[in-house]
Structure 1
Amino acid sequence: MDFQALFQFLEELQQNNHKDWMDANRKHYHAIRNDFVSWLDDLDNKLANIDPEYYPTPGKKGINRINNNLLFHPNKPVYKDHFGAGLDQKTKQGDFYIEIGIKKGVLAGGYWRPDNKLLQSIREGIDYNGEELVKIINKKSFKDTFGGLYAEDEMLKSAPKGYSKDHEHIHLLRYRTFAVIHDLKQEQILAPDFTDYVIAVYKEMLPFRRYLREAVTV
């Protein structure tokens, strides 16, 4: 995958963020998109080989639309400034997310604002075996990679219904989003070993995602 070409295309797109330019350059867009899909397919195969519970997700299924949803966000530009995809995508929640953009790049996983049923399952898992989650997120390599759980989403101000405010793991129970993010620098993406780097981050994230996977399926 020529990520330099991908960045160049995105730069040009942001300077000409309108349908007329995209229509005139659609062949170029599809060439970049197809390369990214092929890279995702290769990554998908590699991840499936290291994780027995991985749910194979072809690049064409995992890749997101480059158009912004103007119906709900009318003030956004027509096109995004990144290519994004979700792998290990059995459902639309809990996948392994990849974003390659000119302003930022991220690798992420977990549950963003899960519905009430999933959220309750995660909290029940913490109530039953919160020590295991604490062990995972307090591991030094985990902290070095992700910093901790995603904390920008607003947390509950008190204990969730059915749990005591004195619960041993009350801090974790107050989360509404259970996810982690690893920021990517452009030079990391352009490095020849980038795919190996992504796999290393995935492996570090795996115990966390397995914990959540078990919580929502038990």
Structure 2
Amino acid sequence: MSFKNQIEFLKELQKNNSKEWMDANRKWYKQVRDEYIEWLNSMNSRLAAIDDEYYDTPGKKGINRINNNLMFHPNKPVYKDHFGAGFDKKPKTADFYFELGIDRCIFAGGLWRPEPKVLRSVRDAIDYDGEELVKILNKKSFKTCFGGLYEDVKLTNAPKGFTKNHKHIELLKNKTFAVAREFSTNDTHKSDFDDQLVEYYLEMLPFRRYLNKAISV
């Protein structure tokens, strides 16, 4: 799948970001959404075949709404500039996320600013076995793929219950535990694009499993 139809739709939507335009182009939207869901279904089956712990996530369950939540973000446009979806989307776990945008696409996964109880569980895991997370993050192929943890808001001081001299203090200060890889939408036209998604999924899997183990105990 080349996603050309989806990207063209998103470009036109951003030029005319209104409910009126969307209503007038509802048939086109349904077409690109259905095509996207069909591709998600295909990738869902492929990922399930290589991961024994995979949580079945059909396209209709994995796809995100294209509407922005204006109640919490009133200054945002009515519609997003991308199609987003999650794979291996077991409730209350770190899933694997794919975003198809106009100029860029993203593979990502982990926990984005989790609630205090979940965040505390991750920090407790780092306190107990932080060396395992460091090993995952420092693996050469992992660093080549994702660089490191996603740069987000961090605490200035040590979190409550941990000393400033903790050997993993810089990890403990994080409020987000996620990784991401951005690339051009042109890459989605390549014949091996789906194979690359599988490669990134497998590379990220130990990281996500570490987080999920931390928040499940």
Q: Provide the TM-score with structure 2 as the length reference.
A: 0.96
Q: Is the 8 A contact 1:93 1:112 kept in 2?
A: no
Q: Distance in 2 between matches of 1:118 and 1:17?
A: 36
**Correspondence 1:101-180 to 2 at 5 A:** 101-151=101-151, 153-180=152-179
**Correspondence 1:188-207 to 2 at 5 A:** 188-207=187-206
CA RMSD of aligned residues (A): 1.2
Q: Distance in 1 between matches of 2:71 and 2:156?
A: 32
> Who is 2:29 aligned against?
29
Q: Is the 8 A contact 1:133 1:208 kept in 2?
A: yes
**Correspondence 1:35-74 to 2 at 5 A:** 35-74=35-74
> Who is 1:12 aligned against?
12
Q: Is the 8 A contact 1:7 1:101 kept in 2?
A: yes
Q: Is the 8 A contact 1:81 1:103 kept in 2?
A: no
Residue 174 of structure 1 aligns with an amino acid whose one-letter code is K
Q: Distance in 2 between matches of 1:60 and 1:71?
A: 24
Residue deviations 1:180-213 (CA, integer Å, cap 9, x gap):
0111211211112211111111111011011111
> Who is 1:181 aligned against?
180
Q: Distance in 2 between matches of 1:72 and 1:216?
A: 27
Following superposition, the deviation at residue 93 of structure 1 comes to 4.7
Residue 87 of structure 2 aligns with an amino acid whose one-letter code is L
Gaps of 5+ in 2: none
Residue deviations 1:68-104 (CA, integer Å, cap 9, x gap):
1122222211111110011211115511111001032
Following superposition, the deviation at residue 21 of structure 1 comes to 1.4
Residue deviations 1:109-152 (CA, integer Å, cap 9, x gap):
0001111111111111111111111111011111111110011x
Q: Provide the TM-score with structure 1 as the length reference.
A: 0.96
